[in-house]
């Protein structure tokens, strides 16, 4: 007589806890298991729990923006974060939706990317969730441009921006700075530039104008320039070479700008690079010299109204630009061969990762971003080849083909 195993019903709370720790890819597959699971994955509670589980485990996904040296086409490379894989390129991603396939990342928050056309006078903007592969094209701005008697608006430039989550209204917002160039309608002489600030709300799917702070922020950010609903930029006042460096911030909740000073530790702006970043839950600046290939780096973080030096990295040979901090304070950099390298401050080891950024004259377009997987819906559409093209690389492609072959064999075997 065959013994029957007793049936145990797993508590619903435990099932939810287990599911909330799985990758997005697995959850998407599990949508077809039952209607209850499918609807549960879309609730704000589960989405938040899943995101914060990833955040707690520090499950960061690196995404490198670089340029194809043969085709002169910019694209993104998704890097492996698996231990021992040395940040291998898993797949390359292009965005034909944008002119010349060339978007700028103007924010990566809570698993979402805000992509803006790299051309200063192009208005295309999109929000992208790389985990769920959802893509949303933002509507054109409805903000009216000011008119002046006898003047014609000749150019509209989008200088920089930021994308952040507003905890107060549970909304994702995108802010961008606009410069308007006017000329005399008769003689064509240029007039002083006019500034505007536009704010987009994902919840309302609409734009509105925000009073301009009358400062021109500089797009000198490292990976991320937003924290706890506030966005930060570097601004410079005064005349070269004695500019005074300040921090401009914008609070997404009250939609107000404010300005705070940076101490004189940064030196002269013309001789020093200053990148805004978020480091271990604090806003900071990474300071390093403009000239030279043996770079030293000072990291300062903001504690209330005071600046504190977190640490210094003395003289890393053969590097030109920082790309961003990884786990355990490791620093990604670009070396003089335009390869991505990883510096470990605890061992002073500089590891070449073998990822080349290709064209020398496109060095300034090499960027590195980090995101945590998220189920957040953006009310968009699924990725389409007219918008996004993905191509698996190397071992990832081999593994996919191997899995396909195994599936085909199973079907062949009946």
Out of 42-51, 77-86, 175-184, least confident range? 77-86
Q: In a 3-state reduction of DSSP, which class is residue 361?
A: helix
Tell me the mean pLDDT in the region 258-273: 73
Torsion of CA 330, 247, 321, 273, to 10 degrees: -130
Cα(343)–Cα(329) distance, integer angstroms? 9
Residues 6+ apart with CB under 8 A from 395: 88
Specify the DSSP element, H or E, that contains 18: helix 12-19
Largest CA distance in the chain: 102
294-303 vs 282-289, strand pairing mode: antiparallel
**Degrees to nearest 5, angle at CA 163 with 161 and 169:** 130
pLDDT at 409: 34
Which of 7, 121, 59, 11 has the alpha carbon at shortest distance from 374?
59
Out of 88-92, 167-171, 175-179, 289-293, least confident range? 289-293
pLDDT at 94: 92
Q: In a 3-state reduction of DSSP, which class is residue 38?
A: helix
Mean pLDDT of the chain: 84
Out of 75-89, 184-198, 359-373, least confident range? 359-373
pLDDT at 410: 35
Check pLDDT > 60 for residue 93.
yes
112-117 vs 331-335, strand pairing mode: unpaired
Tell me the mean pLDDT in the region 392-396: 67
Q: Is 371 exposed, middle or buried (0-12, 13-18, 19+ CB in 10 A)?
A: buried
| pTM assigned to the model | 0.87
For the stretch 215-262, pLDDT in tens is 888 888 888 899 999 999 998 877 766 677 889 999 999 999 999 887
Tell me the mean pLDDT in the region 38-58: 92
Check pLDDT > 90 for residue 126.
yes
Cα(75)–Cα(144) distance, integer angstroms? 33
Report percent pLDDT > 70 for the chain. 85
Check pLDDT > 90 for residue 46.
yes
The phi and psi torsions of 233 (rounded to 5 degrees) equal -140, 160
pLDDT at 405: 39
Tell me the mean pLDDT in the region 71-77: 81
pLDDT at 252: 97
Does 202 or 99 have the greater pLDDT score?
A: 202
Does 32 or 373 have the greater pLDDT score?
A: 373
Does 318 or 394 have the greater pLDDT score?
A: 318
Does 307 or 131 have the greater pLDDT score?
A: 131
pLDDT at 244: 78
Tell me the mean pLDDT in the region 192-216: 93
In this prediction, residue 198 has a pLDDT band, given cuts at 50, 70 and 90, of very high
Out of 147-161, 273-287, 322-336, 350-364, least confident range? 350-364
Token reading at 48: 């938040």
pLDDT at 266: 58
Check pLDDT > 80 for residue 394.
no
Tell me the mean pLDDT in the region 143-160: 89
Tell me the mean pLDDT in the region 388-392: 92
The phi and psi torsions of 133 (rounded to 5 degrees) equal 60, 40
């Amino acid at each position: 007589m065959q013994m029957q195993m007793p049936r145990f019903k797993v508590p619903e709370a435990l099932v939810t806890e287990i599911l909330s720790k799985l990758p997005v890819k697995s959850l998407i597959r599990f949508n077809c298991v039952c209607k209850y699971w499918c609807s549960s994955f879309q609730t704000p509670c589960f989405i938040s729990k899943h995101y914060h589980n990833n955040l707690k485990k520090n499950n960061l996904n690196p995404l490198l923006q670089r340029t194809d040296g043969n085709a002169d086409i910019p694209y993104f490379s998704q890097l492996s974060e698996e231990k021992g894989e040395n940040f291998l390129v898993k797949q390359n991603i292009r965005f034909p939706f944008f002119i010349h396939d060339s978007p700028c990342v103007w924010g990566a928050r809570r698993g979402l990317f805000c992509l803006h056309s790299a051309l200063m006078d192009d208005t295309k903007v999109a929000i992208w969730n790389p985990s769920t592969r959802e893509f949303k094209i933002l509507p054109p701005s409805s903000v009216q441009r000011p008119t002046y008697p006898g003047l014609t608006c000749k150019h509209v430039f989008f200088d920089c921006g930021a994308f952040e989550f507003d905890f107060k209204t549970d909304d994702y917002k995108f802010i961008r700075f606009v410069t308007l160039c006017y000329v005399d309608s008769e003689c064509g002489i240029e007039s002083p530039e006019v500034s505007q600030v536009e704010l987009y709300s994902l919840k309302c799917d609409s734009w509105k104008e925000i009073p301009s702070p009358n400062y021109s922020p500089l797009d000198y950010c490292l990976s991320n320039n937003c924290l706890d609903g506030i966005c930060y930029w570097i601004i410079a006042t005064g005349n070269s070479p004695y500019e005074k460096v300040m921090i401009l911030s914008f609070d997404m909740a009250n939609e107000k700008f404010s300005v705070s000073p940076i101490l004189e530790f940064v030196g002269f702006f013309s001789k020093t690079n200053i990148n805004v970043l978020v480091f271990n839950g604090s806003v900071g600046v990474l300071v390093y010299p403009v000239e030279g290939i043996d770079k030293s780096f000072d990291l300062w973080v903001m504690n209330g109204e005071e600046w504190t030096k977190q640490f210094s990295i003395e003289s890393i040979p053969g590097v030109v630009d920082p790309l961003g901090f990884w786990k355990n304070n490791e620093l990604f950099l670009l070396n003089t061969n335009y390869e991505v390298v990883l510096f470990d401050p605890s061992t002073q080891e500089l590891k070449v990762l073998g990822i080349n950024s290709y064209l020398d004259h496109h060095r300034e377009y090499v960027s590195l971003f980090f995101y945590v997987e998220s189920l957040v819906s953006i009310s968009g559409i699924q990725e389409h080849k007219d918008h996004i093209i993905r191509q698996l690389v190397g071992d990832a492609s081999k593994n996919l083909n191997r899995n396909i072959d195994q599936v085909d064999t199973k079907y062949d075997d009946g």
